[in-house]
Structure 1
Amino acid sequence: MTSRTISTEAIWAGFSRSCEQFPYRPAVAAGREVTYFELGERAKSLAVTIQTRLQGDGIPLTGVFAYRSETAYAAVLGALMAGHGYVPLNRTFPVDRTRLMLERSMCRSLIVDAGSEPQLAGLLEGLETPLLLLLPDRHSVTDLAMNFPRHRFLGSEELSPAEEWRPVDVSPDSNAYLLFTSGSTGQPKGVMVSHANVLHYVAYVMSRYGFTSNDRLSQTFDMTFDLSVHDMFVAWHCGACLCCPTQKQLIKPGDFINEARLTAWFSVPSTAVFMRRFGVLKPGMYPELRLSLFCGEALPVEIVRDWRLAAPNSIIENIYGPTELTIACTAYHWDDLSSPKECEQGLVPIGEPFEGMEAVVLDEDLRPVTDGSPG
């Protein structure tokens, strides 16, 4: 797939190294700043609980029913450190859709945060597969165990100690995560992505953008959007801080950029369109940004011009890629002099393939087209 060496380690290994190198630096800012040591201890406790309490064979996947919280990030890492892939579930989705995603994933364990717990009864309604449910934000789960006897519930007091965790061997080809896209029919379609694919992506963007432990990265994407994987694992690989805005803060992203002291921004272009409309792309507003990435939608030239003025010290790149190709696979670097002439119909190009990849334009019969032909 690429000439770049692909590591055979699991995607949580970079986080583990950062825990050793930067134990008291912030790993996540989600309501409060959580250090690498704190987040690592929480993740290990969840991981060893899954390892020791989950009985029988089955698909090694753990659902994460948590949203923009400290527990959500501990859950992602906990699932991975247990040797599982994680399946993000979103409480802002209709509960019937979330239940369908949970059923199709065939998860046997589920981690739930306090904010998502009110939907738990609806999620479990009619669910026949027995689940191990971990509720680390709750002490007693007696009432839940009585109401849903088919499932096993563990609260914070019943989680295993972090020091009992032991790493397990994980194949680089095993699932790191399972995401559900809308699919052509509107029904959730599962896309599985391996550890090796994520590690390849992280290694490439680390080299391309020069992330360090001094960076503070945005997390504008929900975990059910694969671009969130970039934010999490790039940050944790280099010991940086992942800054997650609340839903309220997302309404004022300009304030969030400065309050969180961000150095790297990543969002869909429509967020920047929204900011421009409300007058928060004025010259010099975001001097601390050194990198701005956009993905997921067409990027208008006028937005880039205004963003360039608002963040005068920032590199701007437009990246592109379907979920199946692991986050992104092409990138376009904006240049104030040459880029305006390279844009078509007021939109920024999606750029060139990442190192070791090729892009081919095909016709409706999946045959390569000649240069300049539509496809």
Structure 2
Amino acid sequence: MNGESSHALYARFLRGLEASPGRAAFRVDGAVATYAEVHRSALLWAGALSLLAPSRPGAVGVLAAKGATSYTGVLAGLFAGATVVPLQPDFPAARTRQMIEAAGVSTLIVDGRGRARAAELREAGLDVAVLEPAITSFDPECALARPRPVAPSDVAYVLFTSGSTGRPKGVPITHGNTAHYFALLDARYDFTPDDVFSQTFDLTFDCAMFDLFCAWGAGATAVAVPPHAYRDLPAFLRQQGVTVWFSTPSAISMVRRTGRLEPGALPGLRWSFFAGEALKCADAADWQRAADACALENLYGPTELTITIAGHRWDQETSPALGVNGMSPIGTVNDGHDHVLLDDEGRPAEVEGELWITGPQTTPGYLDPADDDGRFVERDGRTWYNTGDRIRRAANGELVYLGRADAQVQVQGWRVELAEIDHAMCGCEGVDDAVTVSSTINGVTELVVFYTGTPSRPADLAAGLRRVLPPGIVPRHYRHMDELPLNPNRKVDRAGLRDRATTVLAGAGRPV
């Protein structure tokens, strides 16, 4: 890999190709593709993309489920010098169309599931070319000889986050952003070609880029984790030889419910990473006991800051004391970045406030500049990103996530931190997990708690909370669930729970 293109995100795959040409780049549902095979396919597909858009593909959508087509499609788009836009075939057609149009996607790479969605979009008038590798006869002569060169400022991929208006916001991540990020990871971790990485995240979730490009940068193998694997995750990990695990913390609860999160149950793991949600200290401790030979890290980072921007190395002895509301610290901000905590008046705060960050992992701004207001601010010649997260600085200087700044609600004059109620609920007898949400009906804001574990009388739960919380913030409404719902990114579906809370409150003025 020459120095001119070493910053390119695809350079990590080329590095893996050089180290492990005959090793599996990924395994999906029993199918195996070596680095050499994926390299040939990606160059061929990239050539086909270039024929569809002769000057240079501007943006290539990968409308495919997690698997061989999507993995190779991402690489093919990068090889073509295009911006890659991962898309989920199961998302509503209207939302997918919004993303395609916002990102300027001209070509879609699809699998069987994506084909049906693409046909629906084209019938609705969307002008986009479609490439389905599984049924396409490629002319070998059209293959690129090598990946097209890209500049650090060129956009490697675009991901979409939920917008407050219901319109998804596009986040462009440049090759320069990813180059800085993965260089830090290379220095921090000792990944080798012998490692096998879990691939749990949908490609519309930026942590999937960690899975793929950490594995590929080391010449290692990424293994797609299917939903049924969670029925007996330790057995799946042993069978696949997984040594590096990465998921949302919700996976810990899922494994615990199967009765398989036992001490020593995950002996093959060298590294375990969690991100995407707040990690509970109790969950981290349980996972560490199950994977007692591995290092465990809690990673934090909004999409706008390139995958993860801070990390905490879990320690069974010292980490719990640093947590707040039973949540693990998120650690220190990545090297090369500055950060500041701002209080409610926008003034720098030493101990607690809203987290702002600037540095080389910060995206230039949203695809639509109108979305930048309040989130991206130019100061001192640098772009600062307002995470919208409330953070506390622990005694040792590490950061602790308290919750979203907008997760604080006013209930009957009380300023309520929802995470504090969740933590208190988990201390109630028989409660395994809990999520508190708010809903406003006829101008009155109420709290609704959804919890798992043993069903209890609302009066008993409220009595338990009154022992540790001020009376004014004790919720009146409780709903037992067999398990908390997850969204497609395997995070707790808080938006769905808020909708349920509205139904609960609209249906009765009584505890449920």
What is the TM-score when the length of structure 1 is the normalising length? 0.88
Q: Say whether the 8 Å CA contact 2:197–2:211 is kept in structure 1.
A: yes
Aligned to 1:111: 109
Please give the secondary structure, in 1, of the residue aligned with 2:69.
helix
Within 5 Å, give how 1:1-375 maps onto structure 2: 9-31=7-29, 32-55=31-54, 60-129=58-127, 131-138=128-135, 155=136, 157-161=137-141, 164-250=144-230, 252-372=232-352
CA drift of 1:253 comes to: 3.6
- Tell me the alpha carbon deviations over residues 251-289 of structure 1, each in whole angstroms, 9 at most, x when there is no partner: 554433222211000010011111112212111111010
In 1: Cα distance, 2:90 partner to 2:230 partner: 14
The verdict on how the C-alpha distance between 1:344 and 1:81 changes in structure 2, with shifts beyond 3 A counting, is same
For the Cα contact (< 8 Å) 1:198–1:326, is it kept in 2?
yes
Paired residues of 2:281 and 2:323 also in contact (CA < 8 A): yes
Give the CA deviation at 1:297.
Answer: 0.6
Change (3 A) 1:249 1:372: closer
SS of corresponding position for 1:20: helix
Give runs of ≥4 in structure 1 deviating > 6 Å: none
The farther-off stretch of 322-331 and 59-68 is: 59-68
Using the aligned pairs only, state the percent identity. 38
Partner of 1:142: none
**Tell me, what secondary structure is at the counterpart of 2:348?**
coil
Instruction: Provide closer, same or farther for how the CA distance between residues 336 and 50 of structure 1 changes in structure 2, counting only shifts above 3 A.
Output: same
**Contact 1:15-1:237 within 8 A present in 2 as well:** yes
- After TM superposition, give the deviation of residue 364 of structure 1 in Å: 3.8
Q: How many angstroms does 1:127 deviate by? A: 3.2
CA-to-aligned-CA distance 1:308-349 (integer Å, 9 cap, x gap): 111110111101011000001111111121112112211101
Match of 2:386 in 1: none
Mapped partners of 1:249, 1:336: distance in 2 = 27
Contact persistence 1:45–1:160 (CA under 8 A): yes
Q: Is the contact between residue 8 and residue 196 of structure 1 (CA under 8 Å) also seen in structure 2?
A: no
Q: How many residues end up aligned between the 2 structures?
A: 352
Q: What SS class does the counterpart of residue 190 from structure 1 fall into? A: strand
The alpha-carbon distance between structure 1 residues 9 and 132, as it changes in their structure 2 partners (threshold 3 A), is: same
TM value normalised by structure 2: 0.65
* Cα pair 1:23 1:36 within 8 Å, conserved: yes
* Distance in 2, Cα, partners of 1:67 & 1:161: 28
Aligned counterparts of 2:353 and 2:185: Cα–Cα separation in 1: 31
Distance 1:282 1:162, change over 3 A: farther
Q: CA deviation at 1:126?
A: 2.1
Superposition deviation, residue 159 in structure 1: 4.8
Deviation at 1:356, TM superposition (A): 1.8
CA distance in 2, matches of 1:252, 1:102: 37
Residues 5 and 11 in structure 2, CA contact (< 8 A), matched pair in contact too? no
CA distance in 1, matches of 2:124, 2:70: 25
Unaligned segments of structure 1, at least 5 residues:
139-154
Partner in structure 1 of residue 466 of structure 2: none
* RMSD of aligned Cα (Å): 2.1
- Contact preservation (8 Å) 2:212, 2:222: yes
Q: For residue 133 of structure 1, give the secondary structure of its aligned residue in structure 2.
A: strand
Q: Secondary structure at the match of 1:86?
A: strand
Asked whether the equivalents of residues 6 and 199 of structure 1 are also in contact (C-alpha less than 8 Å), the reply is no
Whether the aligned pair in 1 keeps the contact of 2:24 and 2:220 (CA below 8 Å) is yes
CA offset at residue 194 of structure 1? 0.3
Letter aligned with residue 219 of structure 2: G
Name the CA shift for 1:178/1:225 in 2 (closer, same or farther; >3 Å): same
Larger proportion of strand? 2
Q: Is the CA contact 1:99–1:124 (under 8 Å) kept in the aligned structure 2?
A: no
Distance in 2 separating the partners of 1:253 and 1:243 = 13
Q: Distance in 1 between matches of 2:291 and 2:54?
A: 52
Q: Would the aligned equivalents of 1:180 and 1:189 in 2 still touch at CA under 8 Å?
A: yes
Q: Which amino acid aligns with 2:290?
A: A
- For structure 2, the residue ranges without an aligned partner over 5 or more in a row are 355-389, 391-512
| Per-residue Cα deviation, 1:88-137 (whole angstroms, up to 9, x for no partner) | 000121222112211221111111112322323223232343x2211111
Alpha-carbon contact 1:218-1:244 (below 8 Å) kept:
yes
Provide the rounded CA distance (Å) in 1 between the counterparts of 2:139 and 2:52: 10
How far off is 1:362 after superposition? 1.3
